[in-house]
């Protein structure tokens, strides 16, 4: 057992407090990582505020982890001390089911083990990346290529793969009109990745406040979703819309923007359910889909793609004592575009 310094919520409705947590002894296939940076994902906030159901406390969120390998177990083959690595939303899965064997461990038939707030194989509750170290099986550790700094890479471990996977699956590329709905942490990385894939990228946002940034990020067009005229003019227009909004959306209204064979795919996880009319899908042979993060193979592919195309997150680096304020700013959509915690401020 080793100890780590973490920022934790000790109870529901509490504030983040500096505390000491335990990390397990290395198993043969484990690595211990000295965490350097941890991104703040809106999912951390949904979990901390119990918007998705009951959470376990003390809660140490954080699943956008970038750091340096400190020590490796006796059977670790791929990683060595000193390597630049990342950990995303999951730290284990059964590794035997059809989905795990297909490299889609996030869809493990027995349920993947989340990086935090999840029951581990030894019945302890996992504690995430707002911490100085973490111990993870090497299978769930990705290599961060040279060329992306750890702080700009950290958000790719969740936001990056969550966007890359559906953009690739649904064919974002040359000749395709792709819209990203919601310009936040996921959305801004999605714009960069879709642009790097060769698509024409548009942003659908609630207000004009992010228009200048959108162009800088690589978007060709910026549309205001609250403007009825604009929305009417975009009917039957897009091949693909990726919804990143953390609250319910008017599904039929966005389906109407899809041209023939167009797809509305969802990665935002609204706490409330949404409904749609089949007739909105039948028109233009549209499809409605959703996905969760991506498997480890695709996560590594995404990191290599981002390094090759110079894609990293736009970040605001904060200290451990600023996490509560950062949460409020994310909820107010006042983040440009990802908060990343500098773990050296924990020491």
Q: Which residues bind ligand NAP (CB under 6 A)?
A: 41-43, 46, 158, 162, 182-187, 205-206, 210, 244-247, 267-269, 292-293, 330, 333, 335
172 binds, among ligand NAP, Zn ion, none (CB under 5 to 8 A by kind): none
Distance, in Å, from the CA atom of 28 to the CA atom of 293, rounded to the nearest integer, reads 27
CB of 25: closest distance to ligand NAP in angstroms?
A: 31
CB 190 within 8 A of CB 244: yes
**Which residue, 39 or 262, is less far from ligand NAP as judged by CB?**
39
265 binds, among ligand NAP, Zn ion, none (CB under 5 to 8 A by kind): none
182 binds, among ligand NAP, Zn ion, none (CB under 5 to 8 A by kind): ligand NAP
Q: Which residue has the tokens 């996977």?
A: 165
- Cα Rg, the chain, nearest whole Å: 20
Give how far the C-alpha of residue 193 lies from the chain's centroid of Cα atoms, to the nearest Å.
13
**Which residue, 182 or 262, is less far from ligand NAP as judged by CB?**
182
Peptide bond into 50 cis (omega under 30): no
**Piece of the chain touching Zn ion by CB under 5 A; list 42-50, 101-109, 197-205, 302-310:** 42-50
- A 10 A CB-CB count for 109 gives 12
268 binds, among ligand NAP, Zn ion, none (CB under 5 to 8 A by kind): ligand NAP
Q: 4, 40, 41, 108: which one contacts Zn ion (CB under 5 A)?
A: 41
CB of 168: closest distance to ligand NAP in angstroms?
A: 14
CB 194 within 8 A of CB 221: no
55 binds, among ligand NAP, Zn ion, none (CB under 5 to 8 A by kind): none
Sign of the four-CA dihedral 165, 170, 173, 176 = negative
CA-wise closest residue to 128 among 343, 332, 347: 343
- Residues paired with 59 in a beta bridge: 9
Binding site for Zn ion (CB under 5 A): 41, 43, 158
């Amino acid at each position: 057992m080793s100890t780590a310094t973490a920022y934790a919520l000790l109870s529901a409705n509490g504030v983040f407090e500096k505390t000491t947590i335990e990390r397990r002894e290395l198993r043969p296939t484990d690595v211990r990582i000295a965490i350097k940076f941890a991104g703040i994902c809106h999912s951390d906030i949904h979990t901390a505020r119990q918007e998705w159901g009951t959470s376990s406390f003390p809660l140490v969120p954080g699943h956008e982890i970038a750091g340096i390998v400190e020590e490796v177990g006796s059977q670790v083959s791929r990683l060595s001390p000193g390597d630049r690595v990342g950990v995303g939303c999951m730290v284990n899965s059964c590794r035997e089911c059809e989905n795990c064997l297909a490299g889609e461990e996030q869809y493990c038939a027995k349920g993947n083990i989340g990086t935090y707030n999840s029951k581990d194989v030894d019945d302890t509750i996992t504690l995430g990346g707002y911490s100085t170290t973490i111990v993870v099986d090497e299978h769930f550790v990705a290599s961060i290529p040279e060329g992306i700094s750890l702080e700009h890479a950290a958000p790719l471990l969740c936001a990056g793969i969550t966007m890359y996977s559906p953009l690739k699956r649904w064919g974002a590329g040359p000749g395709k009109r792709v819209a990203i709905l919601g310009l936040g942490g996921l959305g801004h990385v999605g714009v960069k990745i879709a642009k790097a894939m060769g698509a024409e990228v548009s942003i659908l946002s609630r207000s004009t406040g992010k228009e200048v940034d959108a162009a800088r990020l690589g978007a060709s067009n910026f549309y205001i979703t609250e403007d009825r005229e604009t929305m009417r003019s975009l009917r039957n227009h897009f091949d693909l819309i990726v919804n990143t909004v953390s609250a319910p959306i008017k599904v039929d209204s966005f389906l109407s923007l899809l041209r023939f064979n167009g797809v509305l795919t969802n990665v935002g996880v609204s706490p409330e359910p949404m409904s749609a009319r089949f007739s909105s899908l039948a028109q233009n042979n549209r499809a409605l889909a959703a996905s969760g993060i991506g498997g480890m193979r695709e996560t590594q592919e995404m990191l290599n793609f981002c390094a090759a195309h110079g894609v990293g997150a736009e970040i605001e680096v904060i200290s451990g004592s600023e996490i509560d304020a950062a949460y409020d700013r994310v909820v107010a959509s006042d983040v440009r575009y990802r908060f990343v915690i500098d773990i050296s401020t924990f020491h």
